[in-house]
């Protein structure tokens, strides 16, 4: 057993020596290669013109200083004085403040017009306007955000819902009754004529305002099936995969009456009368002879 232990010790010593030789050989290879390739001397660094080793840029290790020896205070910012209101401001806040203060940018003119609108709405009992400008400058500073102010977002929403309501198949439900009535009345009077001036609701021409011929041409181009969710006509191609031919035929029946010419691709309805009469969507379709 003692022999075994000695043997083991000797063996492990030899193994260790081999391992160390391996490691040192690795280092030697690396150094030799870098010498051969010529970049061994670079590790020492370059001499300055003074002839000394990098005396011009010593590495600085000291409190409150970075490696180059510069004093490192990040919070130092140039302070500017606004020429009009004479306040000291940080440099990063200076530009937006100047825009509000001098009233020359896009934002500041919007704010001014909004203020005017507000003051005119509530009457002129708001008190001094002069004091208002001083206070609101600071409030407006907060508007300088990436997404824009919230008031403008609300406005956008109002517009979009109005536009949606005025879209094609609103019936009597969504749009205000005054609008649809006016559209119907104007059309009622002109029912026999073909085209007419289209009344506009909220800036968008409504479907009812189209003349019979326009409607026909429109329905020849688009699928036209009314979607249940939104009440609008499907504006996809006549071969739209979402709706069946049956649906398209039904819509054309409802909108144009039985006597109309369908697209050759779709159906087999044969036009009986040349005239196509217009029907208001709010009422059931009637047959014309």
Partner 1 sequence: MKEEDVLTAKMIESGELNRWKELLRLRLTECGWRDQVRLLCRDAIKQGNLEEMTVDQLNNEVTPKARQLVPDAVKIELLTKIKTFLQENTLQESQ
DSSP conformation letters of 187-248 = HHHTSSSS--PPPEETTEE-GGGS-HHHHHHHHHHB--PBPTTT-PBP-SBTT-TTS-HHHH
Minimum distance, C-beta of residue 9 to partner 1, in the bound complex (Å): 7
CA distance 273 to 259: 6
Closest to partner 1 by CB, 11 or 67: 11
Our CB check for partner 1 shows the closer of 28 and 116 to be 28
Residue 256 to residues 5, 153, 188, 273, Cα–Cα distance (Å)? 108, 40, 15, 12
Measured from the CB atom, the residue of 27 and 73 that comes closer to partner 1 is: 27
In the complex, least distance from residue 150 CB atom to partner 1, rounded to whole angstroms: 58
Looking at the Cβ atoms of 7 and 90, the one nearer to partner 1 is: 7
What is the C-alpha radius of gyration for the chain, rounded to an integer number of angstroms? Answer: 42
Binding span for partner 1 by CB under 8 A among 3-11, 155-163, 171-179, 187-195: 3-11
According to CB under 8 A, which residues from 32 to 91 bind partner 1?
32, 35, 40, 43
Instruction: Enumerate the H helices of 80-211 as residue ranges.
Output: 91-102, 106-121, 129-141, 150-165, 177-189
Quote the distance between the C-alpha of residue 103 and its chain's center. 28
Q: Measured on CA atoms in the order 112, 116, 122, 124, is the torsion positive or negative? A: positive
213 touches partner 1 (CB under 8 A): no
Indicate whether 191 belongs to the interface with partner 1 (CB under 8 A): no
Residue count, binding to partner 1 (CB under 8 A): 27
Min dist. Cβ of residue 39 to partner 1 (A): 12
When the beta carbons of 37 and 59 are compared against partner 1, the nearer one is 37
Q: Binding of partner 1 at residue 129 (CB under 8 A)?
A: no
Q: Are 171 and 231 in contact (CB under 8 A)?
A: yes
Q: Supply φ then ψ for residue 222, to 5 degrees.
A: -110, 165
- 257 backbone φψ class: left, alpha, beta (φ>0; ψ -120 to 50): left
Binding mask 4-33 for partner 1 (x = CB under 8 A): x--xxx-xxx-xxx-xxxxxxxxxxxxxx-
Q: How far is the CB of 7 from partner 1 (least distance, A)?
A: 7
Complex with partner 1: residue 45 or 56, whichever CB lies closer: 45
Contact positions vs partner 1 (CB under 8 A): 4, 7-9, 11-13, 15-17, 19-32, 35, 40, 43
């Amino acid at each position: 057993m003692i022999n075994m232990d000695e043997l083991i010790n000797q063996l492990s010593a030899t193994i260790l020596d081999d391992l160390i030789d391996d490691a040192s050989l690795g280092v030697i290879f690396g150094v030799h290669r870098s010498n051969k390739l010529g970049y061994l001397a670079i590790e020492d660094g370059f001499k300055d013109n003074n002839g000394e080793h990098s005396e011009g840029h010593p590495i600085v290790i000291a409190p409150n200083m970075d490696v180059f020896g510069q004093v490192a205070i990040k919070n130092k910012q140039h302070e500017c004085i606004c020429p009009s209101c004479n306040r000291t401001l940080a440099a990063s806040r200076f530009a937006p403040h100047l825009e509000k203060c001098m009233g020359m940018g896009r934002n500041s003119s919007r704010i001014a017009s909004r203020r005017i609108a507000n003051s005119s709405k509530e009457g002129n009992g708001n008190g001094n306007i002069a004091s208002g400008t001083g206070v609101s400058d600071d409030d407006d500073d907060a508007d300088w955000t990436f997404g824009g102010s919230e008031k403008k977002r609300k406005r956008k929403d109002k517009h979009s819902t109005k536009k949606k309501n005025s879209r094609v198949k609103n019936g009597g439900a969504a749009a205000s009754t005054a609008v649809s009535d006016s559209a119907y009345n104007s059309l009622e009077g002109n029912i026999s004529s073909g085209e007419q001036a289209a009344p506009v609701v909220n800036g968008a021409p409504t479907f009812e305002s189209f003349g019979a011929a326009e409607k026909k041409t429109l329905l020849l181009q688009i699928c036209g099936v009314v979607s249940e969710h939104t009440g609008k006509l499907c504006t996809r191609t006549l071969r739209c995969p979402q709706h069946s031919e049956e649906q398209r035929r039904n819509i054309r029946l409802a909108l144009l009456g039985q006597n109309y010419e369908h697209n050759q691709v779709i159906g087999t309805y044969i036009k009986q009368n040349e005239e196509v009469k217009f029907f208001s969507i709010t009422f059931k379709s009637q047959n014309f002879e």
